[in-house]
Structures are given as C-alpha cells and as structure tokens.
Structure 1
C-alpha cells in the first residue's frame, strides 16, 4: 500500500508520501504508523475533523489476523524497511518492553536514513511490570534521545525527562477512557460506602497485601462501609509464578478471616469494568511504582474517587487523594486519612462531564496533529535530521 495521496487541487504540490500541501501550506493528510493503533488510548486521540490517518496494526508474524497487535512489526527493522513508504510518521506508544536496545537503535537509525520522523510518547518512566527498571531506562534513553518529538502525559513526567535525558517533552493529557456516552451520568446513591481494591493479575507493581489491613481497619471505623477486593481468576492457574500464587493465597485467607467482600472472576471486559467502577465509591491503587494510570482516568470518567500512591505522577493526571507508598515505603496514617476524607466528602467527588471530555479530546487530537505537522515541516525544509547522539 502506498501512503501517497493523488493531487486533486490545481496548483498544489505533492511532497512527502501521504501528504498533500496546497499553496496555503496546509497539510491535508498525515499517515501515521502507530504502535499500536488498536488500543483505547490511541483510539481516543482521534477527533472527527482530524487530518491524521492511523494505519491498522500489521498482522504479527505467525498470526492469522491483527486481533493481537504485538509483537509489533513496525519495530522489526527488516519489515519496517520494506514498508517505509507506507507512512509519514512513526508514533511509538507501547509494545517495546522486550525489544533489545540494539534493535531500537536500528529502528531509530533506519527512520533517520529515510527522513521519517519518530514521535515517542513516554507513558511509563518506570515499567509497571518490572520492579527493576534498569532495562526500561536503557530503552527510554534510546527512544527519548532518538525521537524527533517526545510526548508525555503530565508536567511531572516532563520534568523527569529533562532531568534524565535533557530533552523537553510536549505535555498532552490522557484522553477519556470510558465511552463518551457513559461519562457524566448520575451515580446511584447507596446507603453503604464501598472501598474497592482491585488486585487484577497481581502484576509486579501491585502490592495489595501491604495496604489491605490498613484499609480494613480504617473501614471498620467508618459508618456503613464495606471493603471489596477483586482478583482475576488466572492468578490461581497452575502455571502462575510463585509470587503470584503466594499473594493470591494470602489475600484469600485474609479476606475469609476479616469479612472482606472477595470477588474472584475472569478479567473484566470493558462493560464489566464500567459496571464495577460504578459499584464502588473509591478505588485504592496499590502501586509500589508506576508513572501514569488509565484506570485513574476511567474512575474520573465515571465519578469514582481515587486514592493513589504518591510515587509516579498520578496526582498530576486528574484530581485524587494520595498516600505514602513506594518501592520500599508505606505510610499507613496517610492512607487512613485519605479514606476518612473521601468518606466524609463522598458527595463531592471530582468527576468528568461529557462535554469537558469531548472538548479535551478535540484539543488532544489537535495537539497530536500539530506535533506531526511540526516534525514533517522540519523534514520538508531539510535534507534529513541532524545527527543526534543517542548513546
């Protein structure tokens, strides 16, 4: 498939593949190879009047369809070289967790040789799947220094990027997560206050055991309060690693002995997740490390309060209370105080409106379009990008 768009306006000038530029200098279409495209975050970067077209995810090697987008073919140098004329900009979000830095260097160098801009959104400055962040930081060093434009979601993350790598990132906020039609709906007022602690699949940055006793003790001192703990059923699979199996057993035993409402189920699909978030009043995030959170955004969409750890930049994203929690630290008092304050102010939880999220989505879309246009303008006025040290 060619990214070139046929010239339709007299006097126009056909330039970079996928772009038509008229005398006014307006870019009519920008074709983006997004890594990935089939992701809720990426889908919500698009607004109806955008001139950006994101290509479908390529079918992974050995697969029959692109129902699963990983491992991403755009990060395979040989495949990328064969399809280099299909797009104008490569925009990397996710999917590079297991890719060696040598291959990332190859991708950056290949794009450079072909004058193809690389845009990189730094979602995670600490990979939530690995306690040891050394390898992830090595990957980020290649990508942040090799990209033509770096985007991140919060001012705090942007400051860290400058401190670590000397690169200024454009801050573009996270778009809505829940469907627009569900945002801003009135919530049912329940007689009880439900504290939710979702342990999901007990990935590396989740430590629900550390906070559970504090939550249960605090809840016992609040009127009409119930603690609900959810676990994905796959944590009990025979093939689960030892850490996961041990944590699942501890949570189950604790819940049985402390009157905790424990729910074990398959991983929620989207509709089940929206329903869950409307069934709890506050979601406590037991993250020992991390950077940003789509879960927090979904809570904001549906009017569920959030108590987030003070590691990462969760409080930069959307309004939430925080408590002291990090790799090797926990302040139980701050969590207790946050629970009490949230209970006392349950009728004034910060929540999104549909109109505000619609306007925000249009602005986010326009900001991405501006980033893409800026990188392409650079290439239209230069023979190639200046050499950058990325070692």
Structure 2
C-alpha cells in the first residue's frame, strides 16, 4: 500500500497535509504530530539513489490535481526555485480549483541559492497573493512581507537544530578546548551567497587582534578559485575536510567561541540557529534578517556585508563579551511552534471551506 492510498479516505479528526519539501529538519520539527495531521508523502522515483533529492511532485499542477482528493492543505516552505513563474501560477490556480488550502512560510525573501533575485521575487508575489496563511521566522521579515506584499505573516521562530540534550553534552565535551579566542568560518562547498573575494578573508585576518582564525572548506571545493587563493594567502588558517556527519559538525562548531557567516545575501539561517544551540556567538552580515534571530543581546553581532575589516571588529566585540549561552527554552519554543502551525493549518482549511478572506492589508 503506497502513502497516497493510505490517505484516500478523509479522517475528520486529522488534517491531511503535504509539506514541500516532504522531509527537512526544519519541516519535520514544526509539523504537528500524527494524532493531529496525516502527512502526505510522495513516492520517490524508482531509480533514485538513497538520499538523492528529487523535485516535489505536487508543485506540478497536474500532479496536484491527481492527488487533491487526498489533501486538505499544502504547506510550501522552500525548494521551488526550479519552477518558472508560470508554473507557480498554475500551481496556485490548481490549489484554488481543487479546494486545497495553501500555507506559505517565507524562509527566504532573498534566495541564497540564486544571484539574480528577479524571478524569485515574482514567484513570491504569486505565492503570497494566493496563500491562505503566511508564516515567517522573524519580526523584521514579517514587516518586510507586509511592506512588499501587503500580507500579515505569523512569526514562528526557527526551532532548534541540535537536540537540547545533545547540545548540552557536546558543550560539556568541548568546553576545555575553548579559550575565548577561537574563531571560525565554514565555507563548506561555497554556496552561491558566499563571499568569494579572497580580500574579505585577508582583511578579516589582518584586523583580528586576538582571534585565532580557522577557515574550513570541503575537499570537494579545493579547486574553487577562492580556496586556491586562501591556500596561497592564508594557508596556515585553512582546513580542508570531507563533509562532516551531523555529530562531527556540531562538535567542530561547538569548539569555537565565534563563528562568522560569510554571506553576501540571504534572509534567515539554520546554521546560525545551530551555532546558538551550541552556545557559540555568531557574527553575521547586515543583510537580511540574521540579526533578528538573536535569542539575546550580543548573541548575533552584525557587520557590514562584504567588509572583512568590519567583520573582524565585530568578532573582537563578540570575544570581549565572552560566552553567551542560549537563553531560550528550546524545547518549549519548538512545542509552541508546533501548536502555532496546527492553529494556522486549522484557520487555512476553515478559510477555504468557508471561502473566507486571506489576511491582506491595503
């Protein structure tokens, strides 16, 4: 029996919800439990390798029409940049035609995987005009959504990335290795929104008075021009490595006092949340809404985007303050996020069943 056929009959006690993407740490963390919702799961292609990404079928209007009788609601988070504006228009039109409520969480007012934001913003225009309910992660992002799109967004803060019990154990394990001066940048595979001008990192290192800098990058990025330049200019600070497992990553990050986000653009950061779970102060660019993710004053220190010297000064301020453990009760916050999502799902379904108005302001 496939996941689709298990949902062919309506259970009046549970909402039938399709999340896009179907699986992601954030998506799973905020989804209400199986006594409250039934999660629609797409069948992966038969030739798919384990762990390989595949596009969510319900973003295709025809696929949505075929499965609409098994759905009450679609919740779109991210993973739609491969769809054209016209395809997104067809998707929202099919939601309306099929009587399927649409909830959109705006994670990215600026898409970190794209350089040109033109099409992304057009897709957002279509989605936010059609959505029955809108969610975002920070108050500043909600204000931007209201200003740009005239929509009222419910703010549901990002849930924890590292399980609180696991985070506590890792912090205890690495505490002896933190000396109040350890600073890191994690380039990973050098995503589209990573600063690729080597001078940013050179300036950062030159202006650090006491911070001990380590720059991490994946072996798979070793031939990238940025990594090549860093190898020649800051070789003693560069550490190439294979992709970390989650535990390896959490342990590595927790061993630093400050982590710098070297981003050119973006909106919110799960990486930032992971750092804060581990008690690490984050130095973040002034772009986007990163600073508004701070759980306490000083937890996120902004710097002028792309300015290495300013990033170094922000690091110095963070080091002077010393350790700032996470002060939010993450388990209670996550439970509240789940309750909020269930309330929003219930409102969205009620709106479409009663043809109620979406929350739009002039």
TM-score normalized with structure 2 length: 0.89
Structure that is richer in helix per residue: 2
For 2:148 and 2:262, the matched residues in 1 are separated by 26
Shift of 1:148: 1.1
Question: For residues 168-207 of structure 1, what are the structure 2 equivalents within 5 Å?
Answer: 168-185=152-169, 186-187=171-172, 188-189=175-176, 190-191=178-179, 193-207=181-195
For 2:300 and 2:342, the matched residues in 1 are separated by 30
For 1:48 and 1:31, the matched residues in 2 are separated by 12
| Residue among 41, 50, 61 paired with 1:56 | 41
Match status 1:374 vs 2:362: no
| Residue among 306, 309, 331 paired with 1:358 | 331
Is the contact between residue 90 and residue 118 of structure 1 (CA under 8 Å) also seen in structure 2? yes
| Residue among 207, 214, 239 paired with 1:228 | 214
Q: Quick one: structure 1 residues 56 and 67, their matched pair in 2 at CA, closer, same or farther if it must change by over 3 Å? A: farther
Please, which runs of 5 or more residues in structure 2 have no aligned partner? none
Can you list the C-alpha shifts for 1:33-61, whole angstroms capped at 9, x where unaligned? Answer: 0011210001111465861232234314x
For 1:47 and 1:118, the matched residues in 2 are separated by 16
For 2:358 and 2:29, the matched residues in 1 are separated by 34
For 1:205 and 1:97, the matched residues in 2 are separated by 15
Match status 1:324 vs 2:304: yes
Runs of 4+ off more than 4 Å: 47-50, 385-389
Is the contact between residue 3 and residue 88 of structure 1 (CA under 8 Å) also seen in structure 2? no
For 1:49 and 1:337, the matched residues in 2 are separated by 48
Is the contact between residue 7 and residue 40 of structure 2 (CA under 8 Å) also seen in structure 1? no
Give the equivalent residue in structure 2 for 1:306: 282
Pick 1 or 2: higher relative contact order, CA cutoff 8 A, min separation 6. 2
Please, which runs of 5 or more residues in structure 1 have no aligned partner? 6-16, 21-27, 238-244
Give the equivalent residue in structure 2 for 1:24: none
Is the contact between residue 288 and residue 311 of structure 1 (CA under 8 Å) also seen in structure 2? yes
Bigger radius of gyration among the two: 1
| Residue among 126, 129, 153 paired with 1:145 | 129
Give the equivalent residue in structure 1 for 2:64: 80
| Residue among 48, 68, 82 paired with 1:98 | 82
Moved more, 247-256 or 184-193: 184-193
Shift of 1:192: 6.0
Match status 1:130 vs 2:130: no
Give the equivalent residue in structure 2 for 1:213: 202
Give the equivalent residue in structure 2 for 1:249: 228
Is the contact between residue 222 and residue 240 of structure 2 (CA under 8 Å) also seen in structure 1? no
The number of residue pairs the alignment matches comes to: 347
Shift of 1:301: 0.5
For 1:63 and 1:143, the matched residues in 2 are separated by 31
Q: Quick one: structure 1 residues 69 and 92, their matched pair in 2 at CA, closer, same or farther if it must change by over 3 Å? A: farther
Q: Quick one: structure 1 residues 147 and 195, their matched pair in 2 at CA, closer, same or farther if it must change by over 3 Å? A: same
Match status 1:269 vs 2:248: no
Moved more, 286-295 or 206-215: 206-215
For 2:47 and 2:350, the matched residues in 1 are separated by 37
Q: Quick one: structure 1 residues 324 and 350, their matched pair in 2 at CA, closer, same or farther if it must change by over 3 Å? A: farther
Can you list the C-alpha shifts for 1:147-189, whole angstroms capped at 9, x where unaligned? Answer: 1111111111111111211111111111111123223444413
SS at match of 1:83: helix
Q: Quick one: structure 1 residues 299 and 266, their matched pair in 2 at CA, closer, same or farther if it must change by over 3 Å? A: same
